[in-house]
Every structure is written in structure tokens, then in C-alpha cells.
A and B are shown apart, each in its own frame.
Chain A
Amino acid sequence: EPEVTQTPSHQVTQMGQEVILRCVPISNHLYFYWYRQILGQKVEFLVSFYNNEISEKSEIFDDQFSVERPDGSNFTLKIRSTKLEDSAMYFCASAGLEETQYFGPGTRLLVL
């Protein structure tokens, strides 16, 4: 069964550093998403991406964040200058025409 994959599984970085989280969505999917889950809290929507542009973003997704689909298979989330409060589990998801979202296993980001 096709699945969403994410790399790395864990990332530790220093405050102020840039990080790039990578995702490979399910191959024939059209919609791509990033969510995050701060430890002990609910899963929060960050951004959705369709037809090579951002289709919706939340208040969390400020200028420090960006997304890209560089090569037709990968989907990346970049955090330009990480803050302590960016520590969270980041989930990528993708959806096909029926728009049911399938999630990857997540990347646990720890900012020190």
C-alpha cells in the first residue's frame, strides 16, 4: 500500500539555524500539507499546497516558514531561523482527488 514517507525521523538543531524537513507524498496525490504537534497538544495545521502554490496557511505559518516541491516528488518544509518553540513533531500529509489526507510518520524536531 502506498504511503507518505518523511526524513529525517529526528532532527536536533541549535536555535537560529535553518532546518529543512522532507516528505515524499503518495505518488498520484495532488494536495500536500504540513501539520505540527507540540508535545502534549493537539495536531495543528500549518499549510496546504496545490498546483505548485500555497492554497491555505494558518497563523502559525509566518515568514519563517516556507514550502517547496522542488522536483515533482519531494515536498519540503523549511524553517529559516528556528526558535525554541518550534520544537514539535512535524507531519506531512497528502491527498488525492477525494481529499482524504494520509499522514507520514513525522519528523521530531528539537531546537536547543
Chain B
Amino acid sequence: GDSVTQMEGPVTLSEEAFLTINCTYTATGYPSLFWYVQYPGEGLQLLLKATKADDKGSNKGFEATYRKETTSFHLEKGSVQVSDSAVYFCALKNSGYALNFGKGTSLLVTP
């Protein structure tokens, strides 16, 4: 079945550092890919999405490119802020209704 694998956390970075959170997936067909973010004590917020190969999703300085050849959707940000501290979830949606989430990667940004 479909699955999403994310890099293990926690990831700790200093403010203004470059961020990469790796996400790879296994799926048949052509899934849509998503990054959701969960800030402490809050629910899941959609961060960005891509619906087909080579699409780049972007929002709030975060970017991810749908790479079908490597089945990846890595999240990047050029300069992180303390306020980016959160848990980041990669997810895919295939032909059904359900989102299939990775385990999440916790990010802590220190001043």
C-alpha cells in the first residue's frame, strides 16, 4: 500500500539556518503531495501542496518540489525563524479519500 517516510527528528537549527526535511513516498499512480505543520498545542495547518510531477509548492518561505523520478517531496526553507518551531508532516493522497501521513518531523529553532 501507499506509504510516506520522513526523516527522523528532532531537528534542531539555529535561527537563519537552511532547513531541509526529507520526505519520500511509495504509491501507485500519481498521488498529490502535501506538507502540513502542527504548531505546539494546535491542529494541522496546510503548508503547501503539489498535485503533479515537477510542481513546486511554496508558502511562507517554504518550498517543496514533487520529484517523481526519486519519489520525493523534500521541504526546504532558506532561513528559518524561531516561530517555525513545529512538527512537520508530509502526506500523500492517492485515488481514494484518505490522506496518508508520515510520522512527522519535529523542528526546533533556537535564537
Which residue of the partner chain, among A41, A101, A104, A106, contacts B99 with CB atoms under 8 Å? A101
**Quick one: CB contact mask for A41-60 with B, threshold 8 Å, 1 for yes?**
11111001010000110100
Alpha-carbon distance between A82 and B22 when the two chains are bound, in angstroms: 37
Q: In chain B, residues 74-111, which have Cβ atoms closer than 8 Å to a Cβ of chain A?
A: 89, 91, 93, 96-104
- How many A-B residue pairs have C-beta atoms within 8 angstroms? Tell me: 51
Minimum CB–CB distance from B61 to chain A (whole Å) comes to 19
Assess whether B17 is interfacial by the CB under 8 Å rule: no
Interface of A is mostly: strand
List the B side residues contacting A55 at CB < 8 Å.
97
Q: Please report the C-alpha to C-alpha distance between residue A11 and residue B103 in the assembled complex, in whole angstroms.
A: 25
| Chain A interface residue count, Cβ-Cβ cutoff 8 angstroms | 23
B44 to chain A: closest residue by CB: A103
A65 contacts B by Cβ under 8 Å? no
Cα distance, A1 to B97, chains bound together (Å): 24
Determine the residue in chain A with the shortest Cβ distance to B49.
A100
By the criterion CB–CB under 8 Å, are A103 and B98 in contact? no
Given A41-B103, A42-B104, the answer on whether A106 and B97 have CB atoms closer than 8 Å is no
A45–B100 touching, CB < 8 Å: yes
Q: Do B89 and A103 have beta carbons less than 8 Å apart?
A: no
Interface 0/1 of B41-67, CB less than 8 Å to A: 011111001000000000000000000
